[in-house]
Amino acid sequence: MSEQDFLWKRDFKNINWQATLIYNLFRAFGAGIVFCIFQLISGEGLKALVLIPGYPIMYFIFLLPVGLTLNWLTGLGVPVVGWLNIIFALLVAIGDPLVFIFKKIKPELVPVDKPSFFSFKIVIFIVNEPIVDTNEPGER
């Protein structure tokens, strides 16, 4: 499975939904951990620990739908929306370094061969490699 440039028309039928969910969940957990650390350093105390389980929930309920909508509007050429899209993507991308490190520690749990160290994408779709038929016509 690979993390590649995703095109809706070409790749939608080959999306590995389980791997996509797991990978983006790892990214959201990573972002929650990073924001929790920032909150603890700034003196928020133990209530900052709510971010670790709460951030993935916020990602799937709020960040993902808004980010996908902003991405769609950016593709239509709506001005200024691209900047908002970058901000929303940054809220998830901040967890990418932890996923990258986690892949080095427990590679079997991260469903991507080479995760990005930092990716400005609100969601990363994991696409199964298409099966290429190498047989010439008439060969068996």
Strand 2-3 with 126-127, pairing: antiparallel
Domain extents for the chain?
Answer: 2-127
Ramachandran angles phi, psi of 88, nearest 5°: -65, -40
Interval 69-104: pLDDT, tens? 988 898 888 888 888 988 989 999 999 999 999 999
Interval 27-67: pLDDT, tens? 999 999 999 999 999 888 888 888 888 999 999 999 999 98
- Buried b / exposed e over 65-89, threshold 16 CB at 10 Å, is eebeebbebbeeeeeebeebbeebb
- Taking the model in full, what pTM does it have? 0.81
Helix/strand/coil for 38? helix
